Structure formats: structure tokens, C-alpha cells
Chain A
Amino acid sequence: MMESCANIQEHLGAWLDGELAPVVGERVELHLKQCPLCLGEKGRIERINSTLKNTLAAEAANIPFAPFWAGVHARIVEERSWQVRVVDWFRLTLTPPRLAWAIPAVILLLLGVLSLERFVPGLGFGQTNLASVESIDGHGMNVALLRESQTKTTIIWLFEDHEAETESTPEPASADPAF
């Protein structure tokens, strides 16, 4: 089966530069022997290459390469600031694939840290382990609230109003407040 001309012409440039795999090169060569259209295209490319080569060869002597190479050398040897070095380090280190894995890894790490409290009670981050009392109504009794951080203790202590008791009952039944 004969190769399509479009396919062969697509590979012509690479074939002329010797960049094709041998098997593909042989197919191009075989096609060119049978197809005057593609042979003509090959001739056209060869003429363009030849013209370019001749022009570059003629003009190369006039191109001032010395300042260009001096600039390249200056950039190689120049002392870069630490900011530039840091930026370069990040640019070289944080390649897209690495970054793609780093993001979920960081999220996973944060989730792990935030979940520590669930598995290790008392390991709060900026969070006290003390109970906090939002409201108390003693319904006429006196109420004392003690919060002690060292032992993580919150105590609501109820005690009778002694003055009221003295008026109503001669012998109060309740114990004195313990603190």
C-alpha cells in the first residue's frame, strides 16, 4: 500500500536532516522513488535549506558575536543576590509534578495535626480543656464557680444563704462551703 503524500511530506524535513528512524526513512525513500509530487517537494526543501545555508555562511562573518558571548559570560559569572537564588531554588525544586503531590501532602499533614486532639485527648492547640459555664441559676441558693486550670477542674458549688437560714431555721442542715 502506498503511503499518503501528506504523511510523507510531513516527514520530509526530518528525513533530510537524518532524524527519522531507519524503518520510517526507508518508507519515505521508497515513496519518493514512486511519487514525482513528493520528489518535487523534496527538491523544494533542499533548495530552501541550501539557500539558507549559503546566506548564513555569507553573513556570519559580519555578525558581531563577541559582545553576545561577552554578555553570556558576564551573566554566568555575575554574583546573584540571595533573593534570586531563593527564587531559582523554588523554580527548580517545585516542579509541577512535585507541587501536585506537595499540596495533598500538606493538606493531609494539616488534617493529621488537627485530628490529634481526637485521638490524644487533652492535646488541645490553643484550646483549654476546662469546661466553661455559660449560665447558672441557683434558684435562691448561693453559687460559687471555681475553675482550676492545673487540674482541669471546673466546679459549681452550691451553698445555703446562712442569713436566710438563721431567720427561717434555727439549725441549718447544710454544710459550710468547702472553699
Chain B
Amino acid sequence: MRPKQKAPLNLLPPTLLFSLWLVLLPGLVRAAEKSQPGVQVKIGTIVATNEADCLDPLLSKMKQQLEVIKYRCYRLLREDSQRVSWLANALFEIPGGRSLLVMPQEYRNNRISLKVRLLEGEKPIVDTTVRVPNRGNFLIGGSAYEGGVLIFSISAATP
């Protein structure tokens, strides 16, 4: 009697299949990441003045960052958050008749590339492209506002 012929797949040791699966895993994870629906963009509008020493409790996590800017008082005016698709624009209204236009461009090396445009009405004030670490932030500041300046904390997170 001839021996039963095994299926070719059964000849592969399980460990080899396991290794192959592990090698393919990062690609699968990356593909899954790319299929995620965009970026959570959060804009915090902060007013900095020199009237008295103060720090809004809502800004306590940013204390060290804000201390780099030598103002005495920081208050959070508003905070807006939007989920924005890749290569789509999101408009954030900010005090003083201004607006921020944010476009997530790409995600590479755990960094999100954001194109940001600060507008005063229709007139652009600044255009910038920043690569921000995932779940990280950066600040844009300097616009005069009620005896102080406005600072925008722009943060981005993608799953």
C-alpha cells in the first residue's frame, strides 16, 4: 500500500508559518492604519497677557510649553476639535474674526504632516506645513488680542 500523500501545506513547519505571519503583520497593521478615517485635529485658543500671574487649570498640561513664552497669564478662550479626512480642509473659527484652515497631508514615521493657514477674513496671514508627532502639538502665536496675544495650540492624533 502506498503511503498517504500529505498536502504540501502540511509539510511546512508551523513555526515557519508563524514567522511568515509575523513578517507580514507590520504590513497588515500599516494597511489597517491607512484605512482609518483621518486625523483628530484639536485647536486650543489661548490668550496670553501680562496683567497678573495666572494659568487656566485647563492649560496645566501645557504649563511647561507655555513657560517658554514669557507672558505672565494664560487663559484658554476656546477649544475646538474636528475629525478631518486626509487631504481635506477643516475650518476652525477663532476669536478676532480669524480662522484656521487645517489640512492633514500624510502620516509617516509616526508623524502627521499638517498644512495650516491662518486667515483674517479672506486674507492669509501665515501659511505653514508642520510635521507634528502623532498625538503631539505645536503653537502659533503673536496675533494681538485684547491687550495680549493669541496663541493657538494645534494638535493632531490618528489611530
Contact = CB atoms under 8 A, between A and B. Distances in A.
Contact of A154 (B16, B26, B70, B139): B139
Interface residues of B, number: 46
Interface in A153-172: 153-159
Q: Is the interface of B mostly helix, strand, loop or mixed?
A: strand
Contact of B126 (A108, A131, A138): A138
Interface in B100-141: 109-111, 113, 118, 123-141
Contacts, number: 130
Q: Among A132, A135, A148, which residue has the most Cβ atoms of chain B within 10 A?
A: A132
Interface in A96-148: 100-101, 103-104, 107-108, 111, 117-118, 121, 124, 127, 129-139, 141, 143, 146, 148
Q: Is the interface of A mostly helix, strand, loop or mixed?
A: mixed
Nearest to A158: B142
A157 B130 CA distance: 14
Interface of A: 100-101, 103-104, 107-108, 111, 117-118, 121, 124, 127, 129-139, 141, 143, 146, 148, 151-159, 173-175, 177-179
Interface of B: 13, 15-16, 18-19, 22-23, 25-26, 48, 64-65, 67-71, 109-111, 113, 118, 123-144, 148-149
